[in-house]
Amino acid sequence: MSALETLLLVFQVIVAFCLVGFILIQHGKGADAGAAFGSGASATVFGSRGSGNFLTRTTTVLAILFLGNSLVLGYLATQSVKQQGSLMQGVEPVVIEQPVVDTPAGETTRGPLTDIPEIPE
């Protein structure tokens, strides 16, 4: 694994954790109904509507970074597989030599070593 692939993989993990964190921080659509009746949302850090835009845009940017980085990592992985070649490249073939059994001219070999039937005379 090259240094670039390691760096991109670390970046991928960091972006993934940030993306999960920002998704969990966001509140759902049902939480807006409570803010409409004065539940004290104006005292929050971003105001009653300000956090939605910031968190939504940050989540979008993180999702784009995650997708782009995934595509680059996938491309690099396919290039490294193409460069490696075949798994069997450079492997010597295994040759198993069978011992030759000399039999006299009139005799035939019977038993488990041959599966040729005997020719009738």
Q: Which two tokens stand for residue 45?
A: 């850090």
Q: Indicate whether 74 belongs to any domain.
A: yes
pLDDT of residue 79: 85
Number of domains observed in the structure of the chain: 1
Alpha helices by DSSP H, listed for 85-113, are none
Q: Indicate whether 33 belongs to any domain.
A: yes
Q: Indicate whether 68 belongs to any domain.
A: yes
Q: Indicate whether 114 belongs to any domain.
A: no
Q: Indicate whether 109 belongs to any domain.
A: no
pLDDT digits (tens, 9 = 90+) for 17-62: 999 999 999 877 766 555 556 555 555 555 555 567 888 999 999 9
Q: Indicate whether 119 belongs to any domain.
A: no
Q: Indicate whether 93 belongs to any domain.
A: no
pLDDT digits (tens, 9 = 90+) for 56-113: 999 999 999 999 999 999 999 888 777 666 667 777 888 888 777 666 665 555 555 5
Q: Indicate whether 35 belongs to any domain.
A: yes
Q: Quick check: helix, strand or coil at residue 85?
A: coil
Extended beta strands in the chain, E state = none
Q: Which domain holds residue 45?
A: 3-84
Q: What is the pTM of this model?
A: 0.54
